[in-house]
A and B are shown apart, each in its own frame.
Chain A
């Protein structure tokens, strides 16, 4: 009996997935694939990463030898031109005529280009293939401003790509009155629009384009409202057009608005011909996403091996990637009252908009929209898809539980086993947990290899991670949090080992507890452990320090450094101010008051650093450790010495605290503040530790943060005296130094801490671990061994020698460090 031949037309994502699914089920078919593009099927979903350095090879869905290894014949660059369903043959451009038993059309779609005058001009592009991107990249290099026609999912992604390509002014032109009209409502669109503006995108809604003007090449867009927009390039992303031309020619039924009509087995009007992916029209709908395409591929593969499987539509929930603003819509995003009850949460300050639609009986989630914060997306989607019964206060789903415990029953581990976690690859929660339990998978890379979960759009990865951790924990396994490939320990474990065994240098640590030669991740982490324990001079092991710590200064653009002397509490004498001015003038340093109440001198050549510091130290300055993961500043307000509201002397206390903890190395930098009254002029509650004067004493706040995720500090103790405050602070800081992961600020450390603030309070104030005294002694040892590392360098000729750009020409400066004038000073030349 001769082998059954399956011919696949189209080697895109879905065509490839079909082959993969079919050979996984049986090897009995003779599979032949025709592809129009010059390369093997690649990951179109992550196409934009081509601009971020991914190569065509990285994006490829298979290895080069995959097809031959699996006995699949692949003809690339050879589109099928004609199908003859009566004779069951296909005819290709290169002149081949082959006979099939089954034909699978996976021809995808092409970008829809509206019929506008001027679309054929130079500088007008579509966004679909690697070749399109190559053309865009080349053209963008000589363009200043550009536009994307279409404010949908793809259009916004293309717009972000234009920004990343360095287009100075990027516009998005949308015909509809809102962005992403198929996914989000007008309130969501308004919020998204304001977020995108911040990213530098200019959004034009309600704009219909009349023509593309220009001489040969595009010069402007002319709109129907008689306005116009000058641009150098245009990417059209106005929707997709299913590639049904072959099917039409062969007399197969196609929809009036395009698409090859199929039934629930994906059969076209000819029972031996199937259509899958973006070219297929099922129940009046084109599915422009990869997950439903994969499901269609599986349906046909199963059908061909005589299994029974049907396709009954697919969830079109989506999460926008790449653009820098979270956007997601899921389930039925648009139902309105009275068919449902809608809960809306809007925070224009943070740019967050969330809407959920719940059934009128309040039991089930129907769908919703998330803008600005889509962290809950996966969980909400699961709640819809698995018809999970909602908790009594469904608003907690989008606002988080306020007060009391988090909602029981909404965590990942509570999902049913059949919950579809990765919809691209159809991987269920059960399959993921099995992979952990039975195959010993413990990380995401392993999970990708084992189950393929997370290899599609990647949107489920956070959830997959939570499931791995959750399963490991449920089975009592310890979840490893390791520093890097060279150490199988967390920072805290390694710190304990180093402390107990009194190890004093990096190489020994690596020999005893690690492997390989170390790297830029573990070296500074171990350096921080070593100095947190022994407070040894940083300069003794300079090559394991981050560049800033190695040169005791912050590196800047161009390779020069900044000089930041300590100005404790922000208090400085006129004499010292004069010295700073003189030094800055002499070495031509740009001078600025920092956000930390001190003065930064920028643009010092590496070989000037020792001399600059020599002069500063002579005038009584010390290192400000602006380069170290260590105490930066303790900000003060003027307090009772001058201020009419001041309750106590906040400046003196700030200076005292800053002097106490200066130089101590920690997992991340530390900042403090002391305010003389509740008006809080020192912004103490934005700091890792903050002190505020009260009528009866001082309040101590901890774990605040500015930076990109600001968070207020929380109250640790009220109305305490100075001595108690210092004691608590000692314990708090040492506990943090010993237990936090590398590069974790106190706020993040607290957020991850089991038991949170009440646990921390217990440890620090009630001494629940009985280690209060030990912590105090340990930090005292660090305080007692303080040394100004710049003083050490200045006084040591051997150490001074290291501050040269060229070893063989120590007096020469790097000619590449260049400056430009700016307002009577200099700045670093741009890169």
Chain B
């Protein structure tokens, strides 16, 4: 099971985060909460995998996705700017290279149907960030 730490300080009526039972989820320690800049991202190494973690301070939420931008196979999503799209305030990240943007909730590419990225659940315990892989 996972839950997202969330406080509703932001002004958007964002969709409620789906609570779903996830079997076989393995939580790995990623980094400390202070390691990821406010309203920004950082990249975590997990074996050969690179995971981008986003500290969406404005929404009081954390998100994680693959670090690879599928457009030109660049390991840079953690360096992208985050923000929201549309009336539903879909949280998103924009790749620094050519500004493809991806939903942080679903991993769907919002600017180009061809692409999709992986997202991971995140949980915060104390001052530690864990990612479910």
Determine if chain A interacts with chain B: yes
- Assess whether A555 is in contact with B76, with CB atoms less than 8 Å apart: yes
Chain A residues lying within 8 Å of B38, measured Cβ to Cβ, are: 543
- Interface of chain B residues 21 through 55 with chain A (CB within 8 A): 30-31, 35-40, 42-45, 50, 53
Min distance, Cβ A527 to any Cβ of chain B, angstroms:
10
- Assess whether A517 is in contact with B99, with CB atoms less than 8 Å apart: no
- The verdict on A559 contacting B76 (CB below 8 Å), with A515-B11, A806-B43 known, is yes
Chain A residues lying within 8 Å of B74, measured Cβ to Cβ, are: 557-559, 816, 831
- Assess whether B83 is in contact with A808, with CB atoms less than 8 Å apart: no
A546 to B97, CA, bound (A): 10
With beta carbons under 8 angstroms apart, the residue of B31, B37, B101, B114 that contacts A802 is B37
Min distance, Cβ B52 to any Cβ of chain A, angstroms:
10
Min distance, Cβ B92 to any Cβ of chain A, angstroms:
7
Min distance, Cβ B110 to any Cβ of chain A, angstroms:
10
- Assess whether B44 is in contact with A806, with CB atoms less than 8 Å apart: yes
- Assess whether A808 is in contact with B31, with CB atoms less than 8 Å apart: yes
B3 at the interface (CB under 8 A from A): no
- Assess whether B79 is in contact with A547, with CB atoms less than 8 Å apart: yes
With beta carbons under 8 angstroms apart, the residue of B30, B45, B56, B82 that contacts A812 is B45
- Assess whether A542 is in contact with B80, with CB atoms less than 8 Å apart: no
A contacts with B, residue count (CB < 8 A) = 41
Chain B residues lying within 8 Å of A524, measured Cβ to Cβ, are: 81
Chain B residues lying within 8 Å of A808, measured Cβ to Cβ, are: 30-31, 35, 44-45
- Interface of chain B residues 86 through 100 with chain A (CB within 8 A): 86, 89, 91-92, 94, 96-97, 99
With beta carbons under 8 angstroms apart, the residue of A515, A517, A559, A807 that contacts B91 is A517
Chain A residues lying within 8 Å of B44, measured Cβ to Cβ, are: 806-808
B6 at the interface (CB under 8 A from A): no
A812 to B85, CA, bound (A): 34
Min distance, Cβ A792 to any Cβ of chain B, angstroms:
16
- Assess whether B12 is in contact with A58, with CB atoms less than 8 Å apart: no
A665 at the interface (CB under 8 A from B): no
Chain B residues lying within 8 Å of A546, measured Cβ to Cβ, are: 81, 96
A507 to B72, CA, bound (A): 32
A474 at the interface (CB under 8 A from B): no
- Assess whether B36 is in contact with A516, with CB atoms less than 8 Å apart: no
B75 at the interface (CB under 8 A from A): yes
- The verdict on A519 contacting B92 (CB below 8 Å), with A807-B35, A816-B75 known, is yes
Chain B residues lying within 8 Å of A55, measured Cβ to Cβ, are: 113
- Assess whether B30 is in contact with A519, with CB atoms less than 8 Å apart: no
A777 to B83, CA, bound (A): 35
Of all chain A residues, the one with the shortest Cβ separation from B79 is A547
Chain A residues lying within 8 Å of B101, measured Cβ to Cβ, are: 519-520
A546 to B38, CA, bound (A): 15
A809 at the interface (CB under 8 A from B): yes
B10 at the interface (CB under 8 A from A): yes
- The verdict on A517 contacting B56 (CB below 8 Å), with A550-B79, A559-B74, A816-B75 known, is yes
A551 at the interface (CB under 8 A from B): yes
A26 to B90, CA, bound (A): 41
- Assess whether A806 is in contact with B75, with CB atoms less than 8 Å apart: no
Min distance, Cβ B90 to any Cβ of chain A, angstroms:
9
A802 to B94, CA, bound (A): 19
- Interface of chain A residues 782 through 831 with chain B (CB within 8 A): 802, 805-809, 812, 814, 816-817, 831
Given contacts A53-B113, A559-B75, A831-B74, 10 further A-B contacts (CB under 8 A): A510-B58, A519-B83, A519-B101, A520-B80, A523-B83, A546-B96, A547-B96, A807-B36, A814-B75, A831-B73
